[in-house]
Amino acid sequence: MTELVDQLAVSGNLAGEAFGELLRYRNGETMEYLFEQARATRQQVKKDVLQIWGRIPISNYCKNNCKMCGMRRDNQFVKRYRMDTQGIIECCEYFAGNGVQTFLLESGEDVYFTEAYMSEVLTELKRHFPKGQIILSLGEKNQDFYRKMKRIGAYGALLHHGTANPMHFKKIFPANMSPLLKKQGLWQLKELGYHAGSGFLVGMPYQTIEHVLEDMWLLKDFEASIVDVGAYIPTPRTPLENQRSGNGEMTL
């Protein structure tokens, strides 16, 4: 196992079978050595710099019905809300007052946030915070929408692909969603000049080691500027609420 970690540290990659072996048969000693090598890589590339984002969930409305998400359309037990422009500005003022100049605006797939509306929001944010970096996580908007937001001043965009495996995708996401469109959306963001990112959850129902590897290859091939990987946690009032949580160690 340590030889695989050494190979990963030196080359930045492993063959699929070897990577699967590392994930499947890892132990405490291997993990500690892996973390040691990861810290060395981070120190070489990023030094000791930590960038803090001001995360602002501007809406929990969503038109989609993903089986694992508490914001899903059919969850009638969620108290829905949308933030107005002034509320968003006040959040950014709080963050800026604490030295945070990167603002992440995120929501469900909310059709209320049209191109015209978000243009007004971003214009106001850039007026109040000219040095602020705005990152959008608003879901699958069309290319014209993201082109307009980039022109106004959006810095980055985060679009989670969910799962790279088409068969796994069908088990988790509704029929009106497509893994191909997710991937196309990611490449369009990069073509528009965004610091574009994606991510997935480790330990989702029906997920295998091979699925995790496909997710990692996608992020690597895409050369994502932002990588958002977390452990799956079952959400009440969803079809998957009784499933097991993801493994935190596996996520790391």
pLDDT digits (tens, 9 = 90+) for 38-93: 999 999 988 888 889 999 999 999 999 999 999 999 999 999 999 999 999 999 99
Average pLDDT over residues 13-42: 91
Helix, strand, or coil (residue 180) = helix
pTM of the model: 0.92
Contacts 24+ apart (CB under 8 A), 147-154: 147/192, 148/115, 148/119, 149/118, 149/119, 149/122, 150/192, 150/193, 150/194, 152/119, 152/122, 152/123, 152/126, 153/122, 153/125, 153/126, 154/122, 154/194
Mean pLDDT in residue range 173-183? 93
Residues of the chain with CATH 3.20.20.70: 51-251
pLDDT of residue 16: 78
Report the pLDDT value the prediction gives residue 188, as an integer from 0 to 100.
96
Model pLDDT for residues 82-121, shown as the tens digit of each residue: 999 999 999 999 999 999 999 999 999 999 999 999 999 9
Residues 199-242 have pLDDT tens digits of 999 999 999 999 999 999 999 999 999 999 999 999 999 999 99
Average pLDDT over residues 176-200: 95
Q: Decide if 62 contacts 108 (C-beta within 8 A).
A: yes
What average pLDDT does the segment 243-250 reach?
A: 90
* Per-residue pLDDT, 1: 87
14: pLDDT strictly greater than 90: no
Strand blocks (E) in the chain: 53-59, 102-107, 133-137, 154-158, 195-202, 226-231
The pLDDT value recorded for residue 199 is 95
pLDDT value at position 201?
96
Could you please state the CATH topology (level 3) that the domain comprising 51-251 is classified under: TIM Barrel (3.20.20)
Identify the pLDDT of residue 15. 83
- Segment 144-151 shows an average pLDDT of 97
| pLDDT at res. 49 | 85
pLDDT grade, residue 247 (50/70/90)?
A: confident
Q: Which of the 8 DSSP states describes residue 236?
A: T
Residue 198: pLDDT above 90? yes
